[in-house]
Amino acid sequence: AEIAAAIHAAHEAEGVIILAGQGIEAIADDGKEVRITLTGGRQIAADLAVIGIGAVPVTGLAAEAGLTIDNGIAVDAELRTADPDIFAAGDCCSFPLAVYGG
């Protein structure tokens, strides 16, 4: 959530309008513009559409193995889990980022 808020604020500071939690009824791309129809009928025309749907990490097996789960499989800067013999990498992990103070 903290990273998402920082990215959201940075984009808004550059004039980007972010519409979150809106339902999309249709998307049409004619090669010149993208026309998005939102639930309720509002239409938006744009040169480009960037669509992010998010992801929920799959951590069931790691939890069953007794590993720490914290918005994903918790790993250190070297991708080591709470068990020093198990490493995890990819979108299933949460790890410290120096740029955000660890």
- pTM equals 0.50
Say which DSSP state 39 is in.
T
- The two counts, helices (H) then strands (E), for the chain are 2, 5
In 1-102, which ranges are E strands? 24-29, 34-38, 43-46, 73-74, 93-94
C-beta atoms surrounding 9 within 10 Å: 10
**Gap between the Cα atoms of 5 and 95, Å rounded:** 18
Q: What is the mean pLDDT of the chain?
A: 90
**Gap between the Cα atoms of 81 and 46, Å rounded:** 43
pLDDT digits (tens, 9 = 90+) for 5-53: 999 999 999 998 888 888 889 999 999 999 999 998 999 999 988 877 7
